[in-house]
Amino acid sequence: MTAPVISVTHGVVGYDGRPVLRDVSLTVTAGEVVAVLGANGSGKSTLIRAALGLVPLTAGAVELFGTPLRRFRQWRRIGYVPQRLGAGGGVPATVGEVVASGRLARRGVLRPPGRADREAVEAALRAVGLADRTADPVATLSGGQQQRTLIARALAGRPELLVLDEPTAGVDAASQEAFATALRDFVADGGTVLLVAHELGPLRPLISRAVVVHEGGICHDGPVPEPAGHHAEPDHDHVHPHGPDEPAGLWSS
């Protein structure tokens, strides 16, 4: 049996002494499409950020592809899609330039981009339906198109595992469909997916397992639960109280 793609065992995370995750264990095996569900502030984003080493664990352990996080170096096997595009400092960047960043994990810092890199960027943009926007500044795109740009950036590295943080939050219907298609193709090619979502929408048929996080613990791990209450209504209005942003460091954007 092969090692799990992601394995979090008894993970504990706290911000400033306030526990966000308490004793959480999660295993994702190759080929699975796992959705992490939960209310805002439940700790679901923290769970996947901890799995990627973006948030330090105060206790417990993380293994990626069978290697402890501290010694893990094969980052090209992972494609990460953050919740939204950083605002940046106002220096324009084209869609193509942002997506090209996705090749760095494969290419390394020193090697200049070659033909394989350009082809992978083009293929990734085609997969999310943005091939005609390559030369446009990302700032001129809609929220959904920016989200698709970030997914293309992750796909450009040809990863085995996609980790997505709320990929469908605030995304228009056309982008959600384009995104579901791209994800379906990725899964059909044998890819593994771990995604955080508030609601699944057109992704629902793709999900093989759902994990529900509630108050820092996992309260459900199994089939996708049926939507309940007002969430079951097709067009209910979502109000997302986003948590305060982390303090911006001097050298961070």
Partner 1 sequence: MELFQYPYMQRALIGALIIGLAAPALGIYLVQRRLTLIGDGIGHVALTGVGAGLLLNRSPVLVAVIVATLGAITIELVRARGRTSGDLALALLFYGGIAGGVMLVGLSDATSANLNAYLFGSLTTISPQDLITIAVLGVAVGVTMLALRPALFAVCHDEEYARVSGLPVRTLNLLLAVATAVTVTIAMRAVGVLLISALMVVPVATAQQVTRGFRSTMTAAMALGLFAAGSGVWVAATADTAPGASVVLLAIASFLVVALAAAGWRRLRRRATPAGTPAPEPHEVVLR
Residue 237 contacts partner 1 per CB under 8 A: yes
**Binding-residue total with partner 1 (CB under 8 A):** 61
Distance separating alpha carbons of residues 161 and 215, to the nearest angstrom: 27
Residue 135 near partner 1 by CB under 8 A: yes
d(CA 219, CA 211) in angstroms, rounded, equals 8
Quote the least distance from Cβ 93 to partner 1, whole Å.
4
How far apart are CB 182 and partner 1 at their closest, in Å? Answer: 18
Contact string (CB under 8 A) for partner 1, positions 4-43, x = contact: ----------------------------------------
Q: Does 239 bind partner 1 (CB under 8 A)?
A: yes
What span, in angstroms and rounded, lies between the C-alpha atoms of 137 and 131?
13
Is the Cβ–Cβ distance between 73 and 62 less than 8 Å? no
Task: Retrieve residue 194's tokens.
Answer: 């771990």
The answer to whether 75 contacts partner 1 (rule: CB under 8 A) is yes
Does 152 contact partner 1 by CB under 8 A? Answer: no
142 is a site residue for partner 1 (CB under 8 A): yes
Query: Which residue type sits at 55?
Result: V
Q: Assess contact for 144 and 61: CB atoms under 8 A.
A: no
Does 82 participate in binding partner 1 (rule CB under 8 A)? yes
Q: What is the H or E stretch that residue 188 is in?
A: helix 173-188
Q: Which span (24-32, 119-127, 178-186, 238-246) binds partner 1, by CB under 8 A?
A: 238-246
Q: Does 202 bind partner 1 (CB under 8 A)?
A: no
* DSSP 8-state code for residue 34: E
By beta-carbon proximity to partner 1, the closer residue of 31 and 114 is 114
Six-digit token string for 231: 């969430």
Q: Which helix (H) or strand (E) holds 197?
A: strand 192-197
Among 89, 190, 234, 244, binds partner 1 (CB under 8 A): 89
Neighbours of 95 (CB within 10 A): 26
DSSP label at 161?
Answer: E
DSSP 8-state code for residue 207: -
Which structure tokens are listed for 113? 């981009």
The answer to the question of residue 238 lying near partner 1 (CB under 8 A) is: yes
- Token pair, residue 79, equals 């494609």
Q: How far is the CB of 137 from partner 1 (least distance, A)?
A: 5
- Please say which residue, 1 or 248, places its beta carbon nearer to partner 1: 248
Distance from chain centroid for Cα 8: 16
Q: Which residues bind partner 1 (CB under 8 A)?
A: 52-54, 73-76, 78, 80, 82, 85-86, 88-94, 96-98, 100-105, 107, 109-110, 112-113, 135-137, 140-144, 153, 157, 163, 169-172, 237-242, 247-253
